[in-house]
Chains A and B, each alone.
Chain A
C-alpha cells in the first residue's frame, strides 16, 4: 500500500519506546501493520536523515553482535511532532471514514 508522506511519522512511532537501527525500524513498521504497509527499504534512510536534519531524531554508532550499527533515538521535539502528527492523522482518517461511509450508503 502506498503511504507516501506518512513514513516519517511511522518512523517516529517505531522509535517512541526505544532506540533502534534502520533494519529493525523497517521490520517493526511492516510487522505492526501486518504486512499492509510494505515499503521499499532503500527509502527508509533518506527519511531518517531528514528527521535527523530537522532535529527530530538523533543517531549514534554502536556494536551489536560484533557488527557496527547506527542507532536512532527520538528527541523531545520528535515526541512533540509525533503527537501533533497523531492528532492530525486522527482528524484526516475520521474525515475520510465519514466520506467513504456516506458514499457506500
Chain B
C-alpha cells in the first residue's frame, strides 16, 4: 500500500461510497500535481512523494472536515431507505389514495364522536388521525421549497407535541422514560436529515428532505 493509499483510507473513513470516490479522485489529482512540481524542482521520486503527502497534512483532520461537508455512509443509507419508501407508496395509486384517506377519515370520525359526546373515542381517533397524517399523508403534500419545508417541520413538531399530550396528558413526566426511548430514533433521523440538508444543494434534495 502506498503512502497516498493509506492517507486516502484514513481521509475517507465513514464517508459514503460516492463521497469517498470523489475525495479519492480530487486528492489523487492534487497529489500528482504536487509530485510533478516537486520533481521539476529537482526532488527524487521518493522525496517528491513524501513532500506531496506532507503538503496534504493530517488525514484524520481532513476526514473530520470531509464528514462535515460530504455525505457519510449513514446519511447515504437514510437517503436510500427514504427514497425506497417514497417510491413504494407513490408508485401505487390505490395505496396513495388510501393513505391520504385514512387520516382524513380518522379526523372526521373524531369530530363526529366528539359532537356525540364520546370524548374518549374522539381522543383515540384524533391521536390516530394525527399520527397517520404525519406518517402517510405528508409525502403527498405540496412541500417542495425550503420555506414550505420549514413551515411543515414546525407544524410536524406541534402535531407530535399535541399527539403526546393527548396520549399521556398530565402523566407525561411519569412516562418520560418511555417517551425518550421511543422518540430518540425520531430525533436521530431528524438530526441526520438536517445534516444532509446542509450538505446537499436544494436542487438535489429528494422529497423526503423537505419533510
Provided the pairs A43-B61, A53-B200 are in contact, do residues A22 and B29 lie with their beta carbons within 8 angstroms?
yes
Interchain CB contact under 8 A, B201 and A68: no
B150 CB, min distance to chain A CBs, angstroms? 17
Interface hits, A27-53 → B, CB 8 Å: 27, 39-47, 49-50, 52-53
Given A45-B23, A49-B70, CB of A23 within 8 Å of CB of B34 = yes
Among B37, B62, B198, chain A packs the most CB atoms within 10 A around the CB of B62
Chain A: interface secondary structure? helix
Look across to chain B and name the residue whose beta carbon is closest to the beta carbon of A45: B26
Q: How far is it, in angstroms, between the C-alpha of A50 and the C-alpha of B66 when the chains are bound?
A: 9
Chain A, interface residues (CB within 8 Å), range: 20 to 34
- When distances are taken between beta carbons in the complex, the residues of chain B under 8 Å from A50 are 68-69
Contact B26 A40 (CB under 8 A): no
Q: Does A21 contact B (CB under 8 A)?
A: yes
Chain B interface (Cβ < 8 Å from any Cβ of A): 7, 11, 23, 25-27, 29-30, 32-34, 37, 55-59, 61-62, 65-66, 68-70, 198-201
